[in-house]
Structure 1
């Protein structure tokens, strides 16, 4: 639902009734993951997608029916591939998706929670909405919104572990411990910037009827820090923006680090790279691309970067430069364990030569690292097409270096 927050927020402000269909679970080669949503208003307008086209028509009709019934009870439906009937409504890719259809009426008691969640997501704020998607009928669809405390997310450097989440709105109206437990669990999802489900008892532990709760996270875009204001950086900025990163270009040389040279960057910083990295905020989703291939910039920067629990670090340079840089890093105290996180060359083997091709190679490795992909051709491979996105939340990913 939060993936279409801007449009839905406008519908809420306009007082529209609508039904939102949200993917709550997937199996096999499903095209979209949990949290993907399709919404339909009372006039028949539709936004979003749950399957990339396979079952959109059937889900659209479910939303219309939910609005026409006049009820506010959510409906859980499963769509999958049918070998018996090739023309049946289902996923031709062979996967299975569970979809929760929730009417959101202007008079509904939970509309305020949805409105707050959509407003926060539309503004790019950090928040999570948790909804009960299976369990006792009287609890189905109930929601609460979790917001982080300022102390947890407001300070520089990596924010992880500890602390408490500042507030939450709404509630499930069941055992009081259930709300507290889900708020804590939603905090873990927010730390990872992840959407997914959790299984829990109705009393907030293993006690009571089993519940499935969908937690949708809204977090600011992940950061891509590009060090080195060169032509390769310009191409990497463009593809970084395309992938949804908040992109910063940093270089100590003011003649190169200009907004005119990098118009698509979110910010351009003139500062020594390691000094900027010391003071800026990073987290487990941040990717660092070091394109300077100059020891006076690279060594102090990588010495710091290799010790941060960020998602990815890449460093440009030839294989000879890479080996020389490793020796320099050892001399300043970088351990073999830290160096083992640095592998060369950066990017997938695309035979890249131009800045644009090299940027694509780097971006491909970033995506493979984030999603747990192998990077091999899918033709003839026996690997999954879609990987479990939760593998991308681990902060200790592989780290790259480029030729």
Structure 2
């Protein structure tokens, strides 16, 4: 999400009287690759780019090809094969051992239908999961469709542009939504015209709600913003550090907690350093849709809170205990507030990715799931 926001910001500062622009999007990955589908790079014809489609290996060649696409005003699909031992193949010797398809789409600056403008419209809306359909390849011209075109899926009617196969496409969309991942799909339009679509599932940014006002809130909020997540601090504004006002996306008084939009892409951290406050807040946050609830402090402290709540008639269910992470964070030997912040953020990323947070060298499967 951070990359998308940076691309939108750079796009908004392009002077169309001076520069042309194109968007490079990774639409298919087979095997291993540093970046996955959905990675983007905004390119202008003066050689400037924002974002990335690899670890720096393919950007130079993509820049040249994007300039050609801009000159022709025509989208193109480029395949980079790093599995072949061919000295003429870009990527040889990189050791990535993967095949990456990159779609290069020239942009009409200001056109509401260009891919960046569509991304912008998604970012400007209330938190939700968006579905974007990008035409990767079209065998021949068909109706008003063309390679590089992006269709935003909102309901069945938004698929009317695809004719009679709209229900087939919607079925594929629901399949990708269930998987929670993006991917390419092939379809056959009326008249036997072959089409490849990149079905992109674009969830909202991860949202951390930090409930506390002590000095260790600041390094956690800073790290959250650095990786492109959203940070909301729940605390008395008169008690927080001034630097926090410029770091967090929002600062909410405890009495206004219910005004915060909390969904299943939200994590809540109880870090007030006050036993009674955390005990009071735990039942409240369990009533939200937050997928992750972390409690700062030793295990004995959290177990005491659980026991006291049970004695008061507030019994935590098995589903509650799955969401609660106490003590919060991964076991990395964190000592300083900054290291503790790293431990917490790493565990949240692991939980949201359905991983166990162990060392990658112990993982027998590929780093990224493959179809």
**Which TM-score applies when normalising by structure 1?**
0.73
Retained in 1: the 8 A contact 2:292–2:324?
no
Measure how far apart 1:75 and its partner are: 2.2
Aligned residues: 359
Gaps in structure 2 of 5+ consecutive residues: none
Q: Distance in 1 between matches of 2:325 and 2:204?
A: 29
Query: CA-atom RMSD, angstroms?
Result: 3.9
**Which TM-score applies when normalising by structure 2?**
0.79
Q: Distance in 2 between matches of 1:229 and 1:385?
A: 41
Q: Distance in 1 between matches of 2:73 and 2:344?
A: 50
The yes-or-no answer on 1:61 pairing with 2:42 is no
Q: Distance in 2 between matches of 1:27 and 1:237?
A: 36
Q: Distance in 2 between matches of 1:286 and 1:386?
A: 24
CA deviations over 1:81-136 (Å, ceiling 9, x no partner): 235236731253223211112233579xx874446315426757766542111453
SS of the equivalent of 1:231 reads: coil
1:90-101 to 2 correspondences below 5 Å:
90=91, 91-101=94-104
Residue equivalent to 2:247: 264
1:171-186 to 2 correspondences below 5 Å:
173-175=161-163, 178=166
The yes-or-no answer on 1:286 pairing with 2:251 is no
Retained in 1: the 8 A contact 2:184–2:196?
yes
Q: Which residue of the other structure, out of 288, 292, 311, is the alignment partner of 1:308?
A: 288
Q: Which residue of the other structure, out of 204, 228, 238, is the alignment partner of 1:244?
A: 228
Q: Distance in 1 between matches of 2:70 and 2:160?
A: 23
Q: Which residue of the other structure, out of 31, 53, 57, is the alignment partner of 1:28?
A: 31
Residue equivalent to 1:199: 185
The yes-or-no answer on 1:358 pairing with 2:354 is no
Q: Distance in 2 between matches of 1:248 and 1:76?
A: 40
Measure how far apart 1:177 and its partner are: 5.7
Retained in 2: the 8 A contact 1:348–1:365?
yes
SS of the equivalent of 2:61 reads: helix
Q: Structure 1 residues 364 and 86 mapped into 2: Cα distance closer, same or farther (>3 Å)?
A: farther
1:2-401 to 2 correspondences below 5 Å:
2=4, 4-11=7-14, 14=17, 16-68=19-71, 70=72, 72=74, 74-85=75-86, 88-90=89-91, 91-105=94-108, 112-114=113-115, 116-120=117-121, 129-138=132-141, 139-141=145-147, 143-146=149-152, 173-175=161-163, 178=166, 196-197=182-183, 199=185, 201-202=187-188, 211-216=195-200, 221-251=205-235, 253=236, 255-257=238-240, 259=242, 263-272=246-255, 276=257, 278-330=258-310, 331-378=313-360, 380-383=361-364, 386-388=367-369
